[in-house]
Amino acid sequence: MTGVREAGADGHARTTLDKASGENFPVAPFFLPRAWRDDLMAVYGYARLVDDIGDGDLASPATEARLLGLDPARADDRLAMLDAFEADLRRVFAGPGEQPRHPILRTLRPTVRRCALTPEPFLGLIAANRQDQTVRRYETFDDLLAYCELSANPVGRLVLQITGTASPERIRRSDAVCTALQIAEHLQDVAEDLGRDRIYLPARDMKEFHVQEADLAVPSAGASVRALVAHEAERARELLNEGGPLVGSVHGRLKLLLAGFVAGGSAALQAVSAAGFDVLAGPPKPTKLGLLREMGAVLRGTRREG
């Protein structure tokens, strides 16, 4: 089997995969079976690369363009890059005579076949990044939830499919957890996103809390911004609580993995709270100790539920 490590030997692929250590949640921890780790890292590599294309964060855009069969002169055209990436993704699901161009997509192909994955979750992540090129503000919280349906929820669904545990109820709970993780990340990255001319705080909520866009472009958050961030953090917390029973619905090492996802979101929100909801001074990041504490709390909670 062609493993993720082999694909990662290529410099640009390694740069993408190495970003796993910076996530709020464990991507493919050591305690999982090797096959699961490889499959999860293959999916993570895909998700990370499509986000890097959409955010303009590629280490070598010209190299990535060449790999995708696109003129390197168009490497800064994010929509063209996403179109080329989608065309290469479709080769993953094509017959054996057609091979993907990009090494990360070549690594993904065995996972897709072994786990009988469908194109829809992968296409959703591309659609989210296309949306990022044209939609830079969200009017309501429901609008933001619809974006998370594309940008976050497919990842959780893929995890359930890889581990053979997908069911309608688990997918519903997973969607809640993944959306909460996305909102927590948005709260951590308000200043960074504004630098990209993106705001993921609903405009209606900003108006309710008397927050102007200019209030987000200062070194430290004022009282109104802090109140708004606290409000959105509470919404994310409610979603985490809604999705929490997902952890108790599985057993063994998968339970630890899913507990890590929930704990990662909880620790991120705790970091935002510990910063006094001032997310403009720098992204509040959870500590390893904080993550371990939240992990213990999640697991204790599932035992009580049982």
Which residue numbers in the chain have pLDDT < 70? 1-26, 303-306
DSSP type of residue 231 = H
- pLDDT at site 28: 75
Note the pLDDT of residue 95.
84
Give CA separation, 178 vs 28, 108, 173, 237, in Å.
16, 21, 9, 12
Whether 157 contacts 174, CB under 8 Å: yes
Tokens of 165: 């545990």
Alpha carbon distance 17, 11 (integer Å): 10
Asked if 175 contacts 160 with a C-beta cutoff of 8 angstroms, the reply is no
Cα separation, 101 vs 49, whole angstroms: 14
3-state SS assignment for residue 2? coil
Sorted by sequence, the CB contacts under 8 Å of residue 209 that are 6+ apart come out as 224, 225, 227, 228, 231
| pLDDT at residue 217, as a whole number | 97
Which tokens is 166 given?
Answer: 């997908």
Q: Which of 239, 228, 3, 211 is CA-nearest to residue 106?
A: 3
Q: Which of 71, 73, 68 is nearest to 53 (CA)?
A: 68
Q: Is the dihedral of CA 85, 88, 84, 161 positive or negative?
A: negative
Q: What is the pLDDT of residue 204?
A: 98
Write 133-137 long-range contacts (CB < 8 A, 24+).
133/54, 133/78, 133/79, 133/82, 136/197, 136/198, 136/199, 137/198, 137/199, 137/203
What is the reported pTM? 0.90
Q: Please give the Cα distance from 97 to 81 (Å, whole number).
A: 24
Predicted local distance difference test score (pLDDT) of residue 4: 38
- Phi, psi of 116, deg, nearest 5: 55, 45
Please, what is the angle between helix 78-92 and helix 119-134, to 10°? 180
